[in-house]
């Protein structure tokens, strides 16, 4: 009873706060602040056609490094807990058709993921969506069997390699131009082509591999903690 009243009170306070904001809201019609600067100078500064990727990788690259660290710690906690306390009793085998689909389809999905990751400066996509699609390909392999795939042993190595690559690409900017993650270290090239926009495609690839290996590690830990039947 007291709990229900308390919940009602909290929701009422929140609704009142939200209602008091409504008269001050008005529709935005012009860019302002940081968004205006990014839209005006983004293409000249970074050479990336996709302004969202320019913001993620070039302007706010240090923040992205922090986000990757948060993701890393969450994934590591999941893997640690699941390896310390085994749960579950082992999965059943899939049917013939599902097992064979899981052998055929991961290759096109992986191709799609690599396309989205490496073309992040030309079309929608980028490290985070590409990485989750790569993890989905790994997941399809795992749904089509009742054991952990053999390739999951190299996941920690991939994760360390991609994280180190991200850091070293940033330090390269520090050493040559005096700025962390400056993407002009190899020139921005001709915008609109695949080889352009400095180190943005490389950093996107590093982010994608890191996200993919972390999510794949979570799935492999879930599967291993049940024990193979």
Partner 1 sequence: MNPSLASALAVFLGGMMLAASVVVLFVRDLLSAIIITGMISLSASVLFLLMDATDVAITEASIGAVLATLIFLWGKGKMGGRE
Partner 2 sequence: MNNTLAFVSVGLMAGGIFLAFLRLLVGKTGPDRAVALDTITLISTNLLVFIALFEERSMLMDVAIVYSVLSFLGVLALARYLDGGLR
Partner 3 sequence: MNVFYWTVAGTASGLIIVGLWGVLTRKNILRIGLAFTIADTGVNLLLVWSGYLPGRTTPILNGDVPAAEAVSAVVDPLPQALVLTSIVIGVAVAALFVVVAVLASRRLGTADIRRMKELKW
Q: What's the CA gap between 197 and 41, in Å, rounded?
A: 14
Q: Which distant-in-sequence residues (6+ apart) come within 8 Å of 94 by Cβ? A: 102, 143, 144, 145, 146
Distances (CA, A) of 44 to 123, 185, 197, 199: 17, 15, 10, 15
Q: Which stretch binds partner 1 (CB under 8 A): 20-28, 93-101, 123-131, 169-177?
A: 123-131
* Residue 92 DSSP symbol: P
For residue 157, the minimal CB distance to partner 3 (Å) is 20
* Partner whose binding site includes residue 67, from partner 3, partner 1, partner 2, none (CB under 5 to 8 Å by kind): partner 3
Should residue 98 be labelled a site residue for partner 3 when binding is judged by CB under 8 A?
A: no
135 binds, options partner 1, partner 2, partner 3, none, Cβ within 5 to 8 A by partner type: partner 1
Query: Which of partner 2, partner 3, partner 1, none does residue 98 bind to, with CB < 5 to 8 Å depending on kind?
Result: partner 2
CA angle (81 as vertex; 79, 85 as ends), nearest 5:
120
Find all residues with CB under 8 Å of 182, minimum gap 6, and list them: 173, 176
Site string for partner 1, 25-64 (x = CB under 8 A): -------------------------x-xx-----------
- Closest approach of Cβ 141 to partner 2, in Å? 11
Q: Which stretch binds partner 3 (CB under 8 A): 60-68, 100-108, 109-117, 157-165?
A: 60-68
Q: Give me the DSSP letters along 125-183.
A: --HHHHHHHHHHHHHHHHHTSSS--GGGGGHHHHHHHHHHHHHHHHHHHHHHHSSTT-T
Q: Is 49 in the site for partner 3 (CB under 8 A)?
A: yes
Stretch that binds partner 1, among 38-46, 132-140, 166-174, 200-208 (CB under 8 A): 132-140
Spatial separation of the C-alpha atoms in residues 40 and 214, rounded to whole Å: 35
Decide whether 109 or 161 has the Cβ nearer to partner 1.
Answer: 109
The smaller minimum CB distance to partner 1, of residues 51 and 185, is found at 51
Residue 84 φ/ψ, nearest 5 degrees = -80, -35
Supply 207's token pair.
């982010």
- Say whether residue 75 binds partner 3 (CB under 8 A): yes
Please check whether residue 50 is in contact with residue 120, taking contact to mean a CB–CB distance below 8 angstroms.
Answer: yes
CB of 215 to partner 1, least distance (A): 7
Interface residues with partner 1 (CB under 8 A)?
A: 50, 52-53, 87-88, 116, 124-126, 128-129, 132-133, 135-136, 139, 215, 218-219, 222, 225-226
């Amino acid at each position: 009873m007291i709990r229900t009243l308390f919940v009602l009170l909290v929701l009422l306070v929140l609704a009142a706060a939200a209602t008091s904001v409504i008269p001050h809201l008005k529709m935005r019609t012009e860019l302002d602040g940081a968004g205006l600067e990014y839209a005006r100078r983004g293409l000249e500064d970074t050479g990336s056609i996709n302004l969202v990727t320019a913001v993620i990788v070039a302007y706010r690259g240090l923040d992205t490094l922090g986000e990757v660290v948060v993701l890393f710690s969450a994934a590591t906690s999941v893997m640690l807990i699941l390896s310390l306390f085994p749960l579950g009793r082992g999965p059943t085998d899939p049917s013939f058709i599902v097992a064979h689909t899981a052998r055929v389809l991961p290759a096109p999905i992986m191709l799609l993921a690599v396309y989205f990751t490496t073309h992040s400066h030309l079309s929608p996509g980028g490290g985070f969506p590409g990485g989750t699609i790569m993890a989905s390909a790994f997941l399809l392999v795992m749904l089509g069997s009742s054991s952990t795939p053999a390739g999951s042993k190299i996941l920690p190595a991939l994760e360390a390699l991609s994280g180190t690559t991200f850091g070293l690409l940033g330090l390269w900017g520090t050493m040559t131009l005096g700025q962390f993650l400056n993407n002009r270290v190899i020139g921005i090239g001709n915008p609109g082509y695949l080889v352009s926009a400095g180190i943005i495609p490389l950093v996107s690839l590093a982010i994608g591999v890191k996200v993919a290996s972390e999510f794949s590690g979570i799935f492999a830990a879930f599967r291993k903690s049940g024990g193979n039947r």
